[in-house]
């Protein structure tokens, strides 16, 4: 009998690029991949956060470096990718949200959210993929989407539009890159307790309503996502592409 072997969740000798890495979900993803053996490159605009996180990771014997970069700056992104070794793993995590009813939405806020949540993802992914293909790498691209890329929500027209766009981008790109052995998936969290969600969750009524939508009855922690990032980055998910890993406590099961 040829019994199957458990695929490896290890990421040894893999180079990973994580955007929005200094805090929140990006911080968790960076630690998770580093502890799984990857050499992680951390990107964000905030140097002090990157320095602290890099020191934390390397002090535990793992491999990490950082680049201070605004992913919305297309010229800087191109220069960074051109001067870096090719990446096997890309986590597009940098993002933002400016909640408002549609009739109160400032079009400049819409442009800001779409630029960071969608345009910068397309540009960076294009540069990383070009280098993957040039070096014949069979990599993994993980786009941080949201449960709001699968359902709607009040005051979330702009945010939902950006995350639905990421879901469509992911599916289409997976079809283009599948023959090359490059996988593209999304990870879709519910409300995670991070610096970005903290202002919203201070509102007791909002928090109560949010918890009422989650069958498991609690908000997400950064640690709830860390295993998902390792799974999508590793050979354990080698047959998974163009799909979404929804970690939402049951929100979208309704």
Whether 199 shows a pLDDT value over 90: the answer reads no
Average pLDDT for the chain: 97
66 is catalytic: no
pLDDT tens-digit series, residues 128-141: 999 999 999 999 99
Q: Looking at the domain assignment, is residue 10 inside a domain? A: no
CA distances from 135 to 87, 119, 158, 246 (A): 10, 25, 37, 31
Whether 196 shows a pLDDT value over 90: the answer reads no
pLDDT tens-digit series, residues 216-246: 999 999 999 999 999 999 999 999 999 999 9
- How far apart, in whole angstroms, are the C-alpha atoms of residue 173 and residue 185? 9
Backbone angles phi, psi at 238, to 5 degrees: -65, -20
Q: CA geometry: angle at 226 spanning 48 and 250, to 5°?
A: 125
Q: What domain range is 166 assigned to?
A: 15-244
What DSSP character marks residue 37?
Answer: T
Q: Looking at the domain assignment, is residue 92 inside a domain? A: yes
Q: Looking at the domain assignment, is residue 252 inside a domain? A: no
Tokens 């998770």 locate to 32
Burial (Cβ within 10 Å: 0-12, 13-18, ≥19) of residue 90? buried
- The Cα diameter of the chain in Å comes to 65
Q: Looking at the domain assignment, is residue 250 inside a domain? A: no
Q: Looking at the domain assignment, is residue 156 inside a domain? A: yes
- Catalytic one of 3, 62, 66, 159: 159
What CATH number should be reported for the domain holding residue 207?
3.40.50.720
Whether 198 shows a pLDDT value over 90: the answer reads no
Q: Looking at the domain assignment, is residue 198 inside a domain? A: yes
Nearest in space to 89 (alpha carbons), one of 31, 139, 127, 29 = 139
Half-sphere exposure of 145 (CA within 13 A, CB side): 32
Q: Looking at the domain assignment, is residue 7 inside a domain? A: no
The total number of structural domains that make up the chain = 1
- How far apart, in whole angstroms, are the C-alpha atoms of residue 145 and residue 169? 11
Read off the pTM.
Answer: 0.97
Q: Looking at the domain assignment, is residue 2 inside a domain? A: no
Q: Between 23 and 200, whose confidence is greater?
A: 23
What pLDDT does 86 receive?
A: 98
What pLDDT does 21 receive?
A: 98
């Amino acid at each position: 009998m040829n019994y199957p072997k458990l695929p490896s969740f290890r990421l040894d000798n893999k180079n990973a690029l994580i955007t929005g890495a200094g805090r929140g979900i990006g911080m968790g993803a960076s630690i998770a991949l580093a502890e799984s053996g990857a050499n992680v490159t951390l990107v964000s605009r905030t140097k002090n956060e990157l320095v602290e996180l890099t020191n934390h990771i390397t002090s535990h014997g793992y491999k990490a470096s950082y680049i201070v970069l605004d992913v919305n700056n297309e010229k800087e992104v191109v220069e960074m990718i051109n001067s870096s070794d090719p990446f096997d793993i890309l986590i597009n995590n940098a993002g933002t949200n400016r909640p408002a009813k549609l009739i109160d939405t400032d079009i400049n806020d819409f442009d800001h959210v779409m630029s960071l949540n969608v345009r910068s993802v397309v540009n960076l992914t294009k540069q990383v993929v070009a280098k993957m293909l040039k070096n014949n790498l069979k990599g993994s691209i993980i786009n941080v989407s949201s449960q709001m890329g699968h359902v709607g929500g009040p005051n979330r027209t702009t945010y939902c539009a950006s995350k639905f766009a990421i879901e469509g981008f992911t599916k289409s790109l997976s079809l283009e890159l599948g023959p090359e052995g490059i996988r593209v998936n999304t990870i879709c969290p519910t409300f995670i307790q991070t610096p970005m969600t903290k202002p919203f969750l201070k509102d007791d009524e909002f928090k109560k309503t949010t918890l009422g939508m989650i069958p498991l009855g609690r908000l997400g922690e950064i640690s709830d996502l860390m295993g998902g990032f390792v799974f999508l980055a590793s050979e354990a998910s080698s047959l998974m592409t163009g799909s979404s890993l929804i970690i939402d406590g049951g929100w979208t099961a309704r």
